[in-house]
Structure formats: structure tokens, C-alpha cells
């Protein structure tokens, strides 16, 4: 293993045997099953990845994709069916918080027990005891048996032990959202402290904003297969396609890591069949034939949408997909005077617009837009269903013009707007057309406060009575 690598996973496979009945499991364990009584389930299928020292890497994927399994194998909780894991550095893991705690012991005893299980000596734990107790903040309950704790107190203590051991490598599985809001803030502050100290962090979360904010790189797993790795923004965009079943998953024999060029090409070509439908229907609607696809892999319709509205700055690398039931033909923003513009003055009203043509009947379309910052973090957004603005059916050939009007309270800076037309068909969420990061908006401000948006506070100072 190279010196700058903290975690190296090679061709990792984890297989489980699934039995229909407990008796079949017993017979199989005793060698009495005769014919095969189980099904093989691959939780991980020939996965390889590496994490450099000082790097923060996020793992994302749908439920059952193998995220927790790979973390448990790296930490030694599970044994792989095949493959190899090499770790260079002391690990602390926030996985199943409290695993290994003795319910009859008090909190102090469990701190020492858990610390020694992680690999620290009694003296090392004693040096860290005060910081652990301060972080847990459960008072004198620490001297009571753990079985008397509330669930919140239990996870606070467990998290305090894991996060204050001062590891070289921190592995986190959805554990930063434990406890009340104040304890969660404390966990995230410690997490940022580790990152600033250059510690290695492997991070699993369904909170895509946290992945985008904290991670240097993201890894996407799906059904036990490594689908790709790249920047958090690239992987999150692909993950959202996977969620709605509109990403062409690799065949079972494709297990190698996709490089950045492959990822971008897959993202751009993610819905060729749907794009063809969109382009065909858009051609028919406009009465003229569009050109061939550009080298970037975008569909004909994406080029049409991006070209619409010269006064606004469009993204030539817009990610587009959908099933073709609708097409966003035009999108733009207007300022307080109603002029098309990509520059909005903070504190003024502005509108986000899109023009949508429907290529088949849709019972209740939902129109949406989202603001992201340049790091890919979703800042705000809404849709017509949330706003209770439009819940009617549409017919094939209908064209709708949608506008969302609001006051600009975001801080000055650069933002990207995404657009979407979705709906529910037989209770299944369906994407008709989406354009990710399609439009650039610059917020012009002479007063930036702290954070993402301005609360427009009214400040008053007066002499005390």
C-alpha cells in the first residue's frame, strides 16, 4: 500500500445466504440440507477504492447499496467473503453507536471498556476522560448503569467516546444526526475540527448537502456495485438519476471504477432514449428539424433550452434527463422591472420562469426549481404542488408558462438554478424532464450577512432607561 493511502479496498465481495425458513438455515449449518436451500445475495460485488490520508470521502447510494457493509468490513466488524482491506492509521468509528456497551456497567466503566475495544490503553483513555464527559454532557448519570439511560443519553455517551478518542481515521455512518439539535451542532463542529486538522474521514450519509459541503470526493454505490467516483456534485447528480430509475446502470460484469471522463459522459448520456423522445417531439412541435447531438453528449433539446433567452447566462454543461412526457422549452429569470436578466439585486423582487410543452397526457404535473451554490449545495427551492398553485391535468400538446416570484434574500454571489417537471403515476414518482444547473444567477449585494440568506433584521440601539 502506498504511503499516502489511509484506506485501501481491493476487490471486496460480501455474500450472504438468504433462507426462506429458519429450519433451512439450521439444516445447512449441520450439513443436512441436501439440495441447496438458500439464495446468494451480494451485498458488495468486487468493489475497489482507496482513500488518501487527510482526505474526506463520502459514500452515497440507495438503501441496500452496500454502504454500511463496506464500513463494517473496513472497521473489522464484518469479515469479507473475498477481497482485501488495508488500513494505515488508528480508526474510530461512529457506526452502530453503543455496540459493545455493557448495560449493567455505568457510563465511566463503559467509556474505558469501549476505549480499550477501540485499541487505547487505560492511561490514554484517562487523559481523554474529561473531554469525553464534557462532550456527552449527561451530568451525574454517567455514574449510573447504562440500562437506566434514555435513548438520547445513551447515544450521546457512545458518540462522545467515539469522537473524542482523537483517531487518525474517522468513519461515520449516519451518526452525526443523533441527539437534540444542540448535540448535533456539537457533532458537526467536531467533524469540521477533524477535517481542518487533516484527519482522514470516510463518511456515509443520506444528507446530500453534508456530502457536498464536507467531502473532497464522493463514491456512488448501487446494489453492491461501485458505480463511480468523482466530485460530490457529479456523484450527487448521478445518484438523483438512480433514485428515479433514469440512469443506465452498468451490466453485472462492469465492476471497475469509472474515471472522471466516463462519469461525465454517462451523466450527459444518461437518458438517450428519453432524449430522443424529447427531441423528436420538440422537432414536431416546432415544425423544424434540430441538429445532431453536440460532442458534449447533450440532447438536441438541451441545446434548444440552453440557447433560449439571450439575456440570461445558460450552462452549456447542463445535465438533462426525463422520460419525454414533457419538455422544458425555455427558462429564464426576470428582475424587478420584468426584464430578462441573470443579475438580481439583493432585496428586490424577481421571478423564475419556464415554458413547458407536454407530449402526452399527464394527470397532475409538478413544476419545480432549485437554487444551488457553486459547491452544489441546495440552498432553497419550491414547486407548484408545495405552493398549491397548479394541480390540474394537462393534455398532449398543451403548453404551460410557469413563473415563481419572490424577494431575493440570498447573499451576494453566484448561484445555479435547476428546473424540473415531475409527477406521480400510479403512486410512482416520475421525472418527465429535468435540467440540472441550467441557469446562472448572480446576486448583487452591498450588504452580506452571515450564512446563505439575509434575515432582514431591524436593528435598534437606544439608551437604557
For residue 93, give every residue at least 6 positions away whose Cβ sits within 8 Å of its Cβ, in sequence order, or none: 71, 75, 162, 170, 171, 172, 173
C-alpha cell at position 142: 454517567
CATH class assigned to 5-89+168-263: alpha beta
| Closest to 400 measured CA to CA, from 413, 388, 384, 386 | 384
Q: How far apart are the C-alpha atoms of 110 and 91, rounded to whole Å?
A: 18
The 8-class DSSP code of residue 257 comes to P
Architecture in CATH of 272-444:
Distorted Sandwich (2.70)
For residue 37, give every residue at least 6 positions away whose Cβ sits within 8 Å of its Cβ, in sequence order, or none: 19, 20, 24, 27, 28
Tell me what pLDDT residue 201 has.
94
Instruction: Name the region of 100 (left: φ>0; alpha: ψ -120 to 50; beta: rest).
Output: left
Tell me the pLDDT of the chain (465 aa) as tens digits: 788 999 999 999 999 888 878 887 777 777 776 677 778 889 999 999 999 999 999 999 988 899 999 999 998 889 999 999 999 988 888 776 666 788 999 999 999 988 887 778 899 899 999 999 999 989 999 999 999 998 888 888 988 888 887 788 999 887 666 667 778 778 888 888 888 999 999 989 888 878 888 899 999 999 999 999 999 988 988 898 888 777 776 544 333 444 444 544 444 444 444 445 445 444 544 443 333 333 333 344 433 444 343 445 678 888 899 999 999 999 999 999 999 999 899 999 999 999 999 999 999 999 999 999 888 889 999 999 999 998 899 999 999 999 999 999 999 999 999 999 999 998 889 999 999 999 999 998 988 999 899 998 988 898 998
Tell me what pLDDT residue 179 has.
67
Tell me what pLDDT residue 289 has.
35
Strands, E, within 311-427: which ranges?
Answer: 313-314, 319-321, 326-334, 343-345, 349-358, 366-373, 378-383, 399-407, 413-425
DSSP-derived pairing of the beta strands 319-321 and 428-444: antiparallel
Q: How far apart are the C-alpha atoms of 348 and 351, rounded to whole Å?
A: 10
User: 167-192 in b/e burial notation, b at 16+ Cβ within 10 A?
Assistant: bbbbbbbebbebbeeebeebbeebbe
Distances (CA, A) of 203 to 44, 55, 85, 215: 18, 11, 17, 8
Cα–Cα–Cα angle for 324, 220, 212, rounded to 5 degrees: 90
Residue where the block lists cell 433550452: 305
Tell me what pLDDT residue 98 has.
64
**Domain residue spans of the chain:** 5-89+168-263, 272-444
Q: How far apart are the C-alpha atoms of 339 and 349, rounded to whole Å?
A: 12
Amino acid at each position: 500500500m502506498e504511503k499516502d493511502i489511509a484506506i485501501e479496498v481491493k476487490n471486496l465481495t460480501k455474500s450472504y445466504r438468504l433462507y426462506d425458513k429458519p429450519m433451512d438455515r439450521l439444516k445447512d449449518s449441520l450439513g443436512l440440507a441436501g439440495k441447496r436451500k438458500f439464495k446468494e445475495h451480494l451485498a458488495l460485488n468486487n468493489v475497489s477504492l482507496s482513500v488518501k490520508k487527510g482526505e474526506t470521502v463520502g459514500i452515497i447510494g440507495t438503501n441496500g447499496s452496500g454502504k454500511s457493509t463496506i464500513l463494517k468490513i473496513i472497521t473489522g466488524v464484518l469479515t469479507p467473503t473475498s477481497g482485501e482491506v488495508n488500513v494505515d492509521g488508528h480508526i474510530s468509528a461512529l457506526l452502530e453507536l453503543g455496540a459493545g456497551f455493557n448495560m449493567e456497567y455505568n457510563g465511566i466503566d463503559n467509556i474505558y471498556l469501549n476505549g480499550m475495544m477501540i485499541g487505547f490503553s487505560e492511561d490514554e483513555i484517562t487523559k481523554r476522560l474529561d473531554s469525553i464527559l464534557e462532550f456527552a454532557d449527561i451530568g451525574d448519570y454517567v455514574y449510573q448503569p447504562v440500562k437506566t439511560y434514555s435513548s438520547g443519553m445513551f447515544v450521546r455517551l457512545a458518540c462522545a467516546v467515539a469522537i473524542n478518542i482523537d483517531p487518525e481515521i474517522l468513519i461515520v455512518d449516519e451518526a452525526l444526526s443523533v441527539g437534540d439539535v444542540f448535540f448535533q451542532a456539537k457533532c458537526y463542529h467536531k467533524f469540521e475540527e477533524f477535517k481542518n486538522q487533516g484527519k482522514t474521514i470516510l463518511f456515509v450519509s443520506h444528507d446530500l448537502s453534508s456530502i457536498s459541503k464536507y467531502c473532497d470526493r464522493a463514491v456512488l454505490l448501487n446494489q453492491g456495485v461501485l458505480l463511480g467516483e468523482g466530485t460530490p456534485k457529479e456523484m450527487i447528480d448521478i445518484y438523483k438519476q438512480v433514485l428515479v430509475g433514469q440512469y443506465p446502470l452498468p451490466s453485472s460484469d462492469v465492476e471497475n471504477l469509472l474515471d472522471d471522463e466516463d462519469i461525465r459522459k454517462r451523466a450527459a448520456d444518461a437518458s438517450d432514449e428519453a432524449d430522443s423522445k424529447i427531441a423528436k417531439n420538440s422537432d414536431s412541435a416546432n415544425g423544424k428539424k434540430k441538429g445532431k447531438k453536440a460532442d458534449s453528449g447533450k440532447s438536441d433539446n438541451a441545446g434548444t433550452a440552453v440557447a433560449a433567452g439571450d439575456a440570461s447566462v445558460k450552462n452549456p454543461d447542463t445535465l438533462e434527463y426525463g422520460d419525454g412526457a414533457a419538455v422544458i422549452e425555455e427558462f429564464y429569470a426576470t428582475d424587478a422591472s420584468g426584464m430578462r436578466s441573470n443579475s438580481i439585486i439583493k432585496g428586490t423582487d424577481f421571478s423564475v420562469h419556464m415554458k413547458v410543452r407536454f407530449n402526452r397526457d399527464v394527470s397532475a404535473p409538478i413544476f419545480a426549481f432549485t437554487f444551488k451554490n457553486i459547491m452544489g449545495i441546495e440552498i432553497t427551492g419550491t414547486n407548484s404542488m408545495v405552493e398549491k398553485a397548479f394541480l390540474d391535468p394537462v393534455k398532449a400538446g398543451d403548453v404551460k408558462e410557469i413563473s415563481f416570484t419572490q424577494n431575493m434574500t440570498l447573499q451576494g454571489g453566484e448561484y445555479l438554478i435547476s428546473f424540473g417537471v415531475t409527477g406521480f403515476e400510479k403512486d410512482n414518482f416520475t421525472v418527465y424532464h429535468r435540467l440540472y444547473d441550467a441557469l446562472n444567477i448572480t446576486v448583487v449585494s452591498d450588504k452580506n450577512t452571515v450564512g446563505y440568506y439575509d434575515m432582514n433584521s431591524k436593528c435598534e440601539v437606544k439608551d437604557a432607561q
